Structure 1
Amino acid sequence: MQRKTMKTVMQGALLLSVASLIAKILSAIYRVPFQNMVGNTGFYVYQQIYPIYGIGMTFALSGLPMFISKLVAESDSGEVKRSLISRIFIILAGFSLVVFLGLQVFALPIAGAMGDPGLTPIIRSVSWLFLFSPFLAVSRGYFQGQYEMRPTALSQLVEQAIRVGVILCVAYWAMKHHWNVYQMGKWAMSSAPIAAIFASAVMLYYVWQHQLKFLKPSAQLVTSDTSYGVLVKRLLIEGGTISLFASMMVLLQLVDSFTVMRGLMMQGTPPLIAKSIKGVYDRGQPLVQLGLVVATSFSSSLLPSLTESLVHGTHRQFVRQANTVIRMSLAIATAAAVGLIALMPEVNVLLFGNQQGNAVLSVYVLSIIFATLIMIDNSILQSLNQFAVTIAGLTLGLVVKVLLNQWAVIHFGAIGASWITVLALLLMTGFLMRQLRKEQLRALKHGFLPKLVLISLVMLIAVRLIIPVGNWLTAAWSPRMTALADAALGILVGVVIFVSLALKLKLLSLREWLLLPHAEHLLRWLNK
């Protein structure tokens, strides 16, 4: 029976991971055709308000459901669980209503603080999302706490598919009918509440099947752990910690929304040009998102073994597993980031049609390395119940970004914002790694970093040297087809060189290599 239950849990976790991966890929990829249709200025309008959506959806999709599922799993009986989720729903409904009304009433001041009052209707458009967040968070959390992942996975896929479909349809319609960028942005951002309605319909079906009632908390089942005061405190501290780290990159983008445009105008850049520059700067976000998907999908597959070693193994085994996850995550993230830098001119042309902002984007994609490390370090520290440390690290990074971002844009332009993002993430990484060392976790020993830097530099140089060969072979092709061929050639050469040098210099142990999917086939081929 226990074996069957564990099998169900693992199948559910795999289903949710696959659904989450598909949703992340969709969320990153749609921005490319969207930017191609609406241009730099249209992309700027959408991306200025996107962080508000991103924070709302992180809370409703991953952060709060994860915390609520923990509370549900800890509860003894079905009645206690139902009473618990009713109380949480009422708390979240009150909070969400305040956020909704705040965004409606203060939309104009918020848009003014972003340097563009024209964004006001777009802020009001996205605010409707928050009315659906409590139901989505509580229903998803309840079913995850019952080890039923199908409702969350299905609603997540439906939500992303509907949202992406609406956005691309709006972009196409706006392009055909020559809408101004603010009208386009208002309707594109309405995709968030529309998608939330469809996701809520999916969850409502499962709620109806299980006859759950979210507005009937039982006064007889109240304990000291489920009173409103205690639940509010736990939602803010524990749920808030999980949610804030899940939305780390979105929070940094929110700071950009309030500082980059204003900084460019304070520098003397005309508003129309500043909007276009911000739109080019925002190209970095889908690139980083795709890089993080690649890096974290490998490392997240190793995290279950880390949890198992913490629960059933020794501290020594836990340390060894954690060090492995950190080293492999850093290696993969660095390869992805440096590969993107090496191919940035080709990637920029392939995805966005020109080479605007190559330097700005090359700096920005360094975020992949540090953001990946932060996510892994955070998972390890939270498994050790080090919540206060992770919040302190996140606060440090956000404070640096808030204090320095606008100053950097005024003095250095958009590339200044890229450097401050990387600096903020670097300081967060250093803070968390320092804490891990106190737990006897020292993943970067035995010359690991010098080897990784050397391998990455050789890969970067080799990729840039092979590109002229691709250009010569595709001289008669269109710019985008040439860029595609160059990128494909560069990726092939980059992967072979990185893996070959990593094996030669023993960057990772053989045991660590074999943890990667299909690694044995790749190693056998390279040894030939």
Structure 2
Amino acid sequence: MRMKNEQVKKTMKGALILSVASLIAKILSAVYRIPFENIVGNTGFYVYQQVYPLYGIGMTFALTGFPVYISKLVAEKRSEAEKLRLVQQLFVILCVFSVLTFSGLRIFAPLIAKAMGDLKLAGLIKSIAWMLLFMPFLAVGRGYYQGTFNMVKTAVSQVTEQFVRVGLIILAALLFARLDWSLYKMGALAMFASSVGAFVACLSFVGFYRKKFFKRVKAPQTSYLALTEKLFTDGLILCLFASMMVLLQLIDSFTVVRGLFSNGFLPADAKNIKGIYDRAQPLVQLGMVLAVGFSSTLLPTLSHALQQKKLAEFRRISSVMLRVSIAMAVAATFGMIVLMPQINTLLFGDAHLSLTLSVYALSIIFITVIGTYNSILQSLNQFLITVFGLILALVGKLILNVWLIGRLNIMGASLATVISLIVALGWILAFIPDLVKGLFKTGYFWIKLALATGLMYGSVWLLLRLLGPLFGTGRLECLCLVFLGALLGASVFLVVALSSKLFSVREWLLLPGGRKILSLWQNILRKKESK
């Protein structure tokens, strides 16, 4: 019993370490694009963002999707010899897969670039292909350590990969500005940074490959065919869902510029517009970080409740995860929308396409809810529901992009993203198991959330109307307005949430910093009563 408790404790600690590392990586991945866009401009950002989804998908396979599935297979094996035999076989399968995808990208780079509407992107696609050769080393190394509940190595690999890649991308942008490089040469070097980052991430697993991996082991061998089938069904499902937003961006890469061409835009104008539209990516990532960060802290507790077969506790924690992630996502989204012209100017130098970016920001809410439901369903081993939701989202995005861009230009792409995510969420809600149905039936949650969000939005809108004419539209002035607006909005939302009891005391205590917020609120109430 004591050993079992120690194992649970180790698992929960490991999950928390990975959550923190993932959070750091997400913040880095979002933040670097802001100075990058400022240095290279809208068209330079377009060049980078057109092929970025290929990197995003590749690294999701290497750092998230395949490692999670491999860790599950490793954890199921009893002896160390069986674990090593398994990862040796998986390494061979992934080597074949990575060489094939590497070759495919190198050979078909001109065709892919042509399909994206810009033949000059071929060099960037070829540059990014090298990163795929490191995928077997990363996926197997991370999968082995996660499967043996040692999360430190995997966390270090994730953070170092991002730090190195981001540093080299900013360096590429600075060299472009200093040496008068072409945008495409800069883009190729920025994409090659992903390969250097992947190589540095692999160094975290040198000890594993040197001391353990290449040992001869005596253990039964699983059929390569059966293992390949498992990896590219269940494992691939995890990979694809983890890269949902990146897949939607990939559809944009193939359809937005070509759609604008069809509408009569000149190539230079279409690329510039796509570059401005791509500003939405870091904004959405930053918006999601807060909501996903809150809910991810509860994931270990959710898994523990299920292991102990405490279904009522599982439902309660699932409810808390959903309520908190939705509330944070809604607050972040509408806070971002009301401040969008100022945020756009502060971060990127102008307020172009602020309405289009505001519409795209709505996707924060739906992708957060989908991601939270996916975590809950994964813990129940229910994969097919979210898979069909993902397929619907991708097909819907493709069809809607073609149709809406033709009628509404770039606004159509934003609407297509939001509508496709709504369709996916609708599918998931229609088919979720009974165990996680009806998690919002108590406490008038939606009315309280609408009240808190509405008062937050209204107060910030009024602040901007009163102070906006006095401050002007420069970057420094926008910084002051964003700071004041964010401070006022967060304060109003918190006060209304606490006053209306949007979350129970028990729920507040489960949140990071929740105890301090409650203590501060109770002190304020006591002072009021004493007067």
TM range (shorter): over 0.9
- Does the CA contact (< 8 Å) of 1:262 and 1:406 recur in 2? no
Query: Is residue 11–residue 300 contact of structure 2 (8 Å, CA) maintained in 1?
Result: no
Aligned-partner residue type, residue 517 of structure 1: P
- CA drift of 1:438 comes to 3.3
Q: Which amino acid in the other structure matches residue 494 of structure 2?
A: V
- Looking at structure 2, the residues matched to 22 and 13 of structure 1 have their Cα atoms a distance apart, in angstroms, of 14
Q: Residue 185 of structure 1 aligns to a residue in which SS?
A: helix
Name the SS for the 1:196 alignment partner.
Answer: helix
**Residue 213 of structure 2 is aligned to residue 212 of structure 1:** yes
Other structure's SS at 2:213 match: coil
> 1:59 aligns to what?
61
SS in 1 for 2:437: coil
Residues 385 and 202 of structure 1: CA distance in aligned 2, closer, same or farther (over 3 Å): closer
The reply on whether 1:249 has 2:245 as its aligned counterpart is yes
Contact 2:81 2:217 in 1 (8 A): no
Q: Bigger shift: 511-520 or 35-44?
A: 511-520
Q: Give the structure 2 partner of residue 500 of structure 1.
A: 495
Is the 2:318–2:436 Cα contact (8 Å) retained in structure 1? Answer: no
Q: Do the aligned residues in 2 keep the contact of 1:88 with 1:138 (CA within 8 Å)?
A: yes
In structure 2, distance between residues paired with 1:117 and 1:163: 25
Contact 1:263 1:407 in 2 (8 A): no
1:515 aligned to 2:510? Answer: yes
Counterpart AA for 2:476: M
State the partner residue of 1:381.
377
Per-residue deviation, residues 488-511 of structure 1 (Å, max 9, x unmatched): 111111112112222333332232
Aligned match of 1:451 in 444, 448, 452? 448
CA contact (8 A) 1:84 1:217 kept: no
Distance in 2 between the 1:51 and 1:348 partners? 23
Residue 332 (structure 1) aligned to one of 328, 332, 339: 328
Opposite residue 168 of structure 1, the aligned amino acid is I
How well do the aligned residues superpose, as a CA RMSD in angstroms?
1.8
Any idea what the Cα deviations from partners look like across 1:36-62, whole Å, max 9, x if unmatched?
000000000000000000000001001
Residue 281 of structure 2, aligned match among 279, 285, 289: 285
- AA at the equivalent of 1:480: R
Shift in Å, 1:363:
0.5
Find 1:483's aligned residue among 478, 486, 489.
Answer: 478
Offset at 1:449? 2.5
5 Å matches for 1:110-149? Answer: 110-149=112-151
The structure-2 alpha-carbon separation of the partners of 1:321 and 1:16, relative to structure 1 and needing over 3 Å to count, comes to closer
Q: Which residue of 2 aligns with 1:221?
A: 220
Superposed CA deviations along residues 258-286 of structure 1, whole A, max 9, x for unmatched, are 00111111111111000000000000000
Measure, in 1, the Cα distance between the counterparts of 2:512 and 2:408. 43
Alpha-carbon deviations, 1:112-146, whole Å to 9, x = none?
11111110100000011111101110111111111
The answer to whether the Cα contact below 8 Å between 2:16 and 2:297 also exists between their aligned partners in 1 is no
d(CA) in 2 for partners of 1:383, 1:153:
21
Measure the CA separation in 2 of the matches of 1:15 and 1:326.
22
Kindly provide the CA deviation profile for residues 360-391 of structure 1, in whole angstroms up to 9, marking residues without a partner as x: 11001111100110111011111112111111
Alpha-carbon distance, 1:4 to partner? 4.3
Q: How many angstroms does 1:15 deviate by?
A: 2.4
Distance in 2 separating the partners of 1:66 and 1:15: 15
What amino acid sits opposite 2:220 in the alignment?
L
Tell me the CA shift for residue 327 of structure 1: 1.1
The aligned counterpart of 1:306 is 302
Identify the residue that residue 40 of structure 2 maps to in structure 1: 38
Change in CA separation of 1:517 and 1:284 when aligned onto 2, cut-off 3 Å: same
- TM-aligned CA deviation for residue 518 of structure 1: 2.0
Question: Which residue of 2 is the match for residue 467 of structure 1?
Answer: 464
In structure 1, C-alpha distance between the alignment counterparts of 2:320 and 2:430, rounded to whole Å? 17
2:88 touches 2:213 (CA, 8 Å); kept in 1?
no
* 1:291 CA displacement: 1.1
Bigger mean CA deviation after superposition, 453-462 or 489-498? 453-462
Shift of 1:186: 0.8
Maintained 8 Å contact 1:322/1:441: no
- Which letter does structure 1 place at the counterpart of 2:255? T
State the SS of the aligned residue for 1:76.
coil
1:415 aligns with 2:414: no
Q: Is the 8 A contact 1:104 1:127 kept in 2?
A: yes
Report what 1:97 is aligned to.
99
User: Matched residues in 2 for 1:413 and 1:299: separation?
Assistant: 36
Shift in Å at residue 398 of structure 1? 0.9
1:72 corresponds, among 61, 71, 74, to 74
1:314-371 deviations in whole A, cap 9, x for unaligned? 3222222212211111111100111100111111111111101101110011111001
Corresponding residue for residue 366 of structure 1: 362
SS at match of 1:147: coil
CA distance in 1, matches of 2:193, 2:161: 9
Query: Contact 2:40–2:173 at 8 Å: present in 1 too?
Result: yes
- How far does residue 196 in structure 1 lie from its aligned partner after superposition? 1.3
Structure-2 residue corresponding to 1:240: 236
Q: 2:265 aligns to what SS in structure 1?
A: coil
Aligned partners of 1:361 and 1:418 also within 8 Å: yes
- Is the 8 Å Cα contact of residues 252 and 421 (structure 1) preserved in structure 2? yes
CA distance in 2 between counterparts of 1:68 and 1:368 reads 29
Following superposition, the deviation at residue 307 of structure 1 comes to 1.5
CA distance in 1, matches of 2:512, 2:85: 43
SS at match of 2:88: helix
Secondary structure, in 3 states, of the residue corresponding to 1:106?
Answer: helix
Structure 2 gaps of 5+ residues are 525-531
- 1:259 is the counterpart of 2:259: no
**Match of 1:191?**
193
Shift of the alpha carbon at 1:6?
A: 4.0
Quote the Cα distance in structure 2 between the aligned partners of 1:271 and 1:445: 52
Give, in whole Å, the separation in 1 of the partners of 2:488 and 2:200. 44
List per-residue Cα deviations over 1:465-497 (Å, max 9, x = no partner): 11245446756xx82221111111111111121
Counterpart residue type for residue 349 of structure 1: T
Q: How far off its partner does 1:7 sit?
A: 3.9
Moved more, 59-68 or 453-462: 453-462
| 8 A contact 1:87–1:217 mirrored in 2 | no
Partners of 1:149 and 1:519 in 2: CA distance: 26
User: Do 2:459 and 2:489's aligned partners in 1 also have CA atoms closer than 8 Å?
Assistant: yes
Q: How many residues align?
A: 520
Task: Determine what percentage of the aligned residue pairs are the same residue.
Answer: 47
1:436 alignment partner AA = I
Letter of the structure 2 residue corresponding to residue 515 of structure 1: L
Question: Is the 2:451–2:496 contact (alpha carbons within 8 Å) kept by the matching residues of 1?
Answer: no
Q: 2:427 aligns with which of 424, 431, 442?
A: 431
Equivalent-residue separation in structure 1 for 2:245 and 2:217 (angstroms): 36
How far apart, in 2, do the equivalents of 1:271 and 1:449 lie? 45
TM-fit CA distance, 1:212 = 1.4
> In structure 2, what is the Cα distance between the partners aligned to 1:499 and 1:325?
18
SS at 1:132's partner residue?
helix
Give the Cα–Cα distance (whole angstroms) in 2 for the partners of residues 193 and 377 of structure 1: 33
Kept in 2, the 8 Å contact 1:96–1:133? The answer is yes
Task: Decide whether the 8 Å contact of 1:151 with 1:206 is kept in 2.
Answer: no
